[in-house]
Amino acid sequence: MIYKNNDNRFLKTCIVAGFLLGTTSPFVLASNGEANSSGLSVDKLMALQTPKDIQISPEGEWVAYVVSRNDEEKDKGFTQVWMTSVDGKVTVPMTASYTNASSPRWNPDGSTLAFLGERGDGKESKEPEKSRAQVWILDRRGGEAQQYTDIKQGVEAFAWSPDGTRMLLTIRDPDPKDLKDEEARKKGEEVKPEPWVIDRLQFKQDYVGYLNRLRTHFYLSNGEGEPVQITSGDYDDNDPQWSPDGSRIAFVSKREGDPDANDNSDVWTVSSDADAGSYPLVQVTTNKGSDKSPSWSPDGKTISYTTVTEPEKLWYATENLAVIDASGGGTAKILTASYDRMVFNPVFSSNGKSIYFTADDGGNSPLVKANASNGKLTVVTPGDTVVSEFALNKNGTMATIQSSHHMPFDVFVIKKGKSTRVSKLNDALLDGVSLARIERMKVAGFNNEMVESFVYYPPGHESGKAYPTIFVLHGGPVGQHDAAFDVWGQMFAANGYIAVLPNPHGSDGYGEPFTYTLNRQWGVSDFADVDAIADHLVSSGISDGDKLGVGGWSYGGILTNYVITKSTRFKGAVTGASEVNHRANYGHDIYQLAWEVEMGLPWEDIEAWESMNPFNDLGKVTTPTLVIGGKEDWNVPIQNSEQLYQVLKRRGIETQLVVYPGEFHGIKRPSFVRDRYNRYLDWYKTYVKGE
């Protein structure tokens, strides 16, 4: 249930249930989301571009990456592959702007760049939830892309072999119904719907729907003939990494018992000898927790990975960096046992002496280097910086995607210890825009432990004046607000609010004991933290105690629901993609395993479940509350939002329910993205500012 905030992890038309806009409620969506004349407007938020999936060329001269953007005229989001020289002097588009492309990967000799794009004529699938992407190859010197694969069900991921002669393809098993439907269409016959027949314990997934027994497996392809399948079984295989000599592939899979009944993923290897006729597997890790993100040492003898050694602590447990003998059967060595921070995506350096990774650390997300022998740590990107991704090449040049409070994510190159920004995706857009001044603030919260927040002061802030204030609660529950450019904090500040982005208990950048406090106690410690922060801001004259608002998405919405059942100090609330009736979600959301690990079975551990259920206290709510969600969200289903709305409406509390059709846990359609921004602003303007 890692309810990651999907606005970072994460919105004009809508369905409004239960009322007619402007007839039974004083709240009417009227604004265009415009900030003060020099501030950050919704128009500018909608035009922001974001880089991701960075790759550095083998010789270290070019960086390839994907740029995501909104197209409001077409009401779609698009992804395009770009390439920039490491000195930042040359930037060229590698794919067309109105066809989605992703996953750029350099051939090891650097001559070509492969990527994933829609099949055939480049048109998008009529069934967007079913990827039909194929691998395409571009000559770096220019020319048209050449199609490398033609897989009916599409390719989910791919990886070049070290010598560049083959690719490893990740492909989901073909669906017999899709094949039957395709044949029917060719014959001009009607395609009829069929019932879902389900027999899995984990039977649904957000963005996918009901789950069947079709699994993702690996195939080898040399670009000719049919790809050769090398893994199989009732398991999903993912994150494949070629060994340096190309003889083996490390990957991650849950293969102990029923994979739906545990979170015990392990690192495995499989032979890539295409002439062998069989592809034996070797289990490398045997830890009972989650092992993932494998990376080979240059000599092929060792694999680094992340590991959870206390799986009973669920997502509150620290993910550590570990190394192990790649041949299997060895004992893992934990390199970050004393670090007590979540680590992500380790990669061996070219000389094998270091392992690089990112971490969540006290509101920052630095790039960190660990000594591969003794675990000694060096922070590569110190200060208030967030590194979302990085890539290395053999000569030691590094490419990263970084952000800070006043700079949206951009591409940086680190060479000989010097970090240089080489892309300027949003500089022209933000030229002349006044952004918030941001401070870190620490306040004694739950159990008198210090709790950190990022406080966004509006442009032109006047010292000594108490401002209306919005608390922006992050997703998770295990996550953190960080030093990256935050669109919500900046937007609220631009509209005359102080925005408070707290990292209460449960946030993962402050050590496992701080995080684990939330176990079976959702809302208890983190509400105490939020309440203490509000006390401090009001007593210090920073915030107007009569003009406080609160809101969040996913777990941020869940905490919002808890807050308004415990306090009447907030004059307006917005709860997005939230839960309010936890037991009602068991078997309806996608977290049956997580619920059972943390709370026990809901028909047996009834008292534990009900003790933290905000639904039981909805009779105490007085805060006008806007309730929002996606119609197809199976991560945190709209059912609980409907129940919350029904209770508030029945009790006469000012409320609206906004449901976005066709949307999952994250809101993607640009018109809905804009709509959501404006609804937050107008709700707070009405009930917090009292305008």
How far apart, in whole angstroms, are the C-alpha atoms of residue 273 and residue 246? 9
Report pLDDT for 687: 98
Three-state secondary-structure class, residue 115: strand
Confidence of residue 34 (pLDDT cuts 50, 70, 90): low
Residue 146 resides in a domain = no
State residue 185's pLDDT score.
Answer: 87
SS (H, E, C) 44-99: HHHHCCEEEEEEECCCCCEEEEEEEEEECCCCEEEEEEEEEECCCCCEEECCCCCC
Nearest to 11 by CA among 556, 579, 576, 578: 576
Q: Per the domain annotation, does 550 fall within a domain?
A: yes
Q: Which of 453, 397, 457, 396 is nearest to 422 (CA)?
A: 397
Instruction: Determine the average pLDDT of the residues in 128-150.
Output: 83
Query: Is there a domain that residue 84 lies in?
Result: no
SS3 content of the chain, % helix, strand, coil (to 5): 20, 35, 45
Buried/exposed code over 605-623 (b: 16+ C-beta within 10 A; e: otherwise):
beeebeebbbbeebeebeb
pLDDT at 37: 56
Tell me: the pLDDT tens digits for 639-650?
999 999 999 999
The reported pLDDT for the residue numbered 179 is: 81
Is the pLDDT score of 5 beyond 80? no
**Predicted pLDDT of residue 131:** 59
Q: Which residues face 119 on adjacent strands?
A: none
Domain assignment of residue 444, yes or no: yes
Could you give the number of structural domains in the chain?
A: 2
Residue 475 pLDDT > 50: yes
- The crossing angle, in degrees rounded to 10, of helices 555-566 and 524-539 is 70
The CA distance from 387 to 412, in Å, is 10
pLDDT in tens, 573-616: 999 999 999 999 999 999 999 999 999 999 999 999 999 999 99
**Mean pLDDT score of the chain:** 91
* Cβ(114)–Cβ(105) below 8 Å: yes
Q: Is residue 384 included in any domain, yes or no?
A: no
**What is the token pair recorded at 340?**
């007590």
**Whether pLDDT at 10 is above 60:** no
Same domain, 37 and 182: no
> Can you name the residues that pair with 392 across neighbouring β-strands?
398
Task: Tell me the β-bridge partners of 456.
Answer: 438, 499
Whole-number Å distance between alpha carbons of 164 and 268: 23
pLDDT average, residue stretch 350-365: 97
Split at pLDDT 50, 70, 90, the class of 239 is very high
Contact 336, 327 (CB under 8 A): no
Domain match, 439 and 583 both: yes
Do residue 445 and residue 593 come from a single domain? yes
The model's pLDDT over 505-527, given as tens digits with 9 standing for 90+, comes to 999 999 999 999 999 999 999 99
Rounded to two decimals, the pTM is: 0.92
Residue that has been written with the tokens 């969200």 in this structure: 633
- Crossing angle of helices 487-494 and 670-687, in 10° steps, is 50
Of the residues 213, 233, 268, the one at which a domain ends: 213
Confidence of residue 122 (pLDDT cuts 50, 70, 90): very low
pLDDT of 12 strictly over 90:
no
In a domain, 488, yes or no: yes
HSE-up of 505 (CA within 13 Å, CB side)? 25
Distance CA 154, CA 262 (A): 29
Q: For 616, list phi and psi in degrees, rounded to 5.
A: -70, -15
478: containing domain: 15-44+431-687
Q: How far is residue 422's CA from residue 412's CA, in Å, rounded to a whole number?
A: 6
Does 56 map to a domain?
no
Residue 652 lies in a domain: yes
Tokens of 156: 């989910």
449 and 589 fall within a common domain: yes
CATH number of the domain where residue 40 is located: 3.40.50.1820
- Could you tell me the pLDDT band of residue 363, with boundaries at 50, 70 and 90? very high
Rounded Cα gap, residues 262 and 531, in angstroms: 36
User: Which tens digits make up the pLDDT trace of 73-102?
Assistant: 999 999 999 999 999 999 999 999 888 999
pLDDT at 361 over 70: yes
Q: What is d(CA 276, CA 448) in angstroms, rounded to the nearest whole number?
A: 63
**Out of 201-215, 264-278, 321-335, which region has the weakest mean confidence (pLDDT)?**
264-278
